[in-house]
Amino acid sequence: MDLLLPIRISAALAVIFFILPDKRKLVVPAALTAAISLFIISIYSLFFRDIAMSSRPYFMADNISKAVYFLISFFGAIMAVYSSGFITRKLNRYFAYFFLTIASSLGVVISANWLIFTIFWGISGTALFLMIQLESGANAAAKKTMIILGGSDSLLILGIAIIYYATGTFTIGTAPWSGLAAACLLAAALAKAGGMPLHTWIPGCAEKAPLPVTAFIPAALDKILGIYMMTRLFQIMRFPPEARMAVMIIGAITIICAVFMALKQHNAKKLLAYHAVSQVGYMILGIASGNLLGLIGGFFHMVNNAIYKSALFLGTGQVEKTTGTDRLEKLGGLAKLLPITFTSMLIASFAISGIPPFNGFYSKWLIYQGILGAKTAKDFPLLTMLCLLAALFGSGLTLASFMKLLHAIFLGSSSPAIGRIAPDNREKFSLVFPQITLAAACILLGLFAVNIFIKPVFGSGVLDEIRGSWSPGTASLLMIAGIVIGLLLYWLSGAKTRRAGSFIGGYKVAPEMRVSGVTFYASIENIFPFRQIFKLADKKIFDLYEMTKLGLFYIIGILRYFHTGVLSNYLTWIFAGGIIIFLAL
């Protein structure tokens, strides 16, 4: 048994589910059994990698590949459980594309040949396009996704061609520095991961695609694949300080711009989508720093982001399935109705905001240390420190926007929609089990990351440096002790509490005066210069796809003006063109 077996099984399952009849009682049990079995087979295959993969020159499985391989299998099992309770139509086609996505993603991370890598990479993008289209009204989002990812795939092929010209081989290994090749491969990785300026497919995908698709691919797998490729690229090429600095600046801009866009969103899924973009900036900063702690932190943050961002999307899916909406102004007071979802989203929100001792803090802390020791610090000290400040500032804004999200959905006054929720339309096992699992992972990786992740992937040689930078166990004990002492002092003080209604300006808040969480930070939209920037963003000025499309249609409009269909006009233009050529020559 080797690591190719789960890929073969996944591809076979994609074919089987495509031809199965669309009957829930048949498809759901088969999909759950297949996904869980595939996860078990993948784990078993990982233990026998050294024996089974030794005779396969086109594939590799080092510690980084093994870690990503495990993640893909893990998310496959988790999302299969969630999808079984969420998806209600076209189940056979959904799971066919689902297993095709798993097969192609596993193929990407064990490919040791650029041609095989490109084939699997392209299949994963096509599978995403097909899964988005399963939702009615999502054709435009699917087309935009396909064009951006497909266009970046063209750059990927160009970059590989340049590397082949320089090395004479398609084997993924050390390559001489080429600015053009690096730019092409980085563009492909950024588009897949959702880094700026190739990120604009993610908000549309999050808003229109089936929610499990968003949680599984843009929030998890595509982030993993894009950052995995970026990690490999920085391994095989020696980036000069100028190039590293340019990539770090892209990371810093991604953090700040995306988190500001998240602050103004009234749609929960779009808010999470912009945060999915923002978190990519941290990964870019860590990997591009050229520092060991930064590399570990960037790669670790990729893992953490996939976990807590999927948990947040799955929680939002539970809210949407329960209430029928994800508009923040229509929600509120759901904490008592959805306690498990509230708890899991609270933990995931702490993690993404970098609150210790959760996993997001640990990876961000490593990234901060990596930036301080970055290879660019000597040549570009000011820009490097600005990147660090952007990362720190971005964490504060992330916490602010998740205060808005949690308040709008779970806290505050109850939404009028709560009274219309049927008792049987609340938290089901298939929807809350994945959330509980991912929330638990946020805690476990925050406390035991060294033994669970860092040591197995990067070796025991980095343990002294890692342990010297942050001690999660000690910090957790101190925080727990502080909470216990605080509660004890409160109990000894004999203080009494009373419950009263809410008041605004001395008047009791009436139902029609209900304050929604969307009012948090609303003033940002009216402050200079954010007011002008947000107006430009609403006009899609910063959307590379929309601006490119606008330019192309403008040129097409000019050509259509001359393309009248009248033969005499064509003869006139041919004659005029001939004269111009004659005079020029």
Specify whether 330 is located in the same domain as 430: yes
- For the stretch 397-420, pLDDT in tens is 898 888 888 888 888 777 666 666
407 SS3 class: helix
Specify whether 119 is located in the same domain as 43: yes
Q: Assess if residue 166 is contained within a domain.
A: no
Residues in Cβ contact with 467 at an 8 Å cutoff, skipping those fewer than 6 apart: 450
Specify whether 116 is located in the same domain as 21: yes
Tokens, residue 581: 């050529």
Specify whether 350 is located in the same domain as 472: yes
Per the CB < 8 A criterion, the answer to whether 351 and 358 are in contact is yes
Residue 340's domain comprises 288-480
pLDDT at 281: 93
Specify whether 203 is located in the same domain as 308: no
Q: Assess if residue 7 is contained within a domain.
A: yes
pLDDT at 51: 47
Q: Give the distance, in angstroms, between the CA of residue 94 and the centroid of all CA atoms in the same chain.
A: 20
Give whole-number Cα distances, 531 to 260, 336, 348, 534, in Å: 12, 37, 30, 5
Q: Which of 446, 480, 514 is the last residue of a domain?
A: 480
Per the CB < 8 A criterion, the answer to whether 132 and 145 are in contact is yes
Specify whether 421 is located in the same domain as 300: yes
pLDDT at 470: 64
pLDDT at 478: 82
Specify whether 312 is located in the same domain as 459: yes
Q: Assess if residue 320 is contained within a domain.
A: yes
Cα gap 388→16, rounded to integer Å: 49
Cα angle 489, 351, 388 (rounded to 5 degrees) comes to: 105
pLDDT at 55: 59
Pairing verdict, β 503-504 and 507-508: antiparallel
Q: Assess if residue 78 is contained within a domain.
A: yes
Q: What is the DSSP letter of 251?
A: H
Per the CB < 8 A criterion, the answer to whether 319 and 341 are in contact is yes
Q: Assess if residue 519 is contained within a domain.
A: no
- Domain tally for the chain? 3
Cα gap 135→350, rounded to integer Å: 31
Q: Assess if residue 189 is contained within a domain.
A: no
Q: Assess if residue 461 is contained within a domain.
A: yes
Specify whether 351 is located in the same domain as 434: yes
Residue 314 phi, psi dihedral angles, 5° rounding = -65, -40
pLDDT at 422: 55
Q: Which of 462, 480, 498 is the last residue of a domain?
A: 480
Residues in the chain with pLDDT values less than 50: 51
pLDDT at 509: 65
pLDDT at 49: 53
Cα gap 547→424, rounded to integer Å: 46
Cα gap 12→5, rounded to integer Å: 11
| HEC per residue, 126-173 | HHHHHHHCCCCCCHHHHHHHHHHHHHHHHHHHHHHHHHHHHHCCCECC
Q: Assess if residue 171 is contained within a domain.
A: no
User: 0.85 cut: is pTM over it?
Assistant: yes
Specify whether 315 is located in the same domain as 391: yes
Cα angle 180, 184, 188 (rounded to 5 degrees) comes to: 165
111 SS3 class: strand
Which of 269, 276, 301, 265 is closest to 525 using CA atoms?
Answer: 265
Tokens, residue 339: 């306690």
Per the CB < 8 A criterion, the answer to whether 397 and 263 are in contact is yes
